[in-house]
Structure 1
């Protein structure tokens, strides 16, 4: 299930949050791909490592978004 963001992720390429929102979408896609790969991959240790890295990337993207929102609020 996808996480809901407040404010919602923007699709307007001219919006101030577009780049960070695009990074979040890309990180979510990497995580989904890693989870799918785990289902079909024989090396579960490698799959766990890839999933861990994908989750860390998603967390970093979400933190970047929070920082950007704070910058815009000032």
Structure 2
């Protein structure tokens, strides 16, 4: 089974934005017939890499994967 990895720019600011991105990405993958993207069958997964920032924008701690 082939694997497709899609990397986005690091500009998501909330869990809601991440959810909306994944919904749209899943819709596009289905539209172009690249995948049925059924999460229940393990055909569409998401791994989040998260960096925390303080209010002034400075990175707090190390990147978490």
Shorter-chain TM-score: which interval? 0.3 to 0.5
Q: What TM-score, normalized by structure 2, do the two folds share?
A: 0.33
Tell which has more relative contact order, 1 or 2 (C-alpha 8 A, sep 6+).
Answer: 1
Q: What TM-score, normalized by structure 1, do the two folds share?
A: 0.30
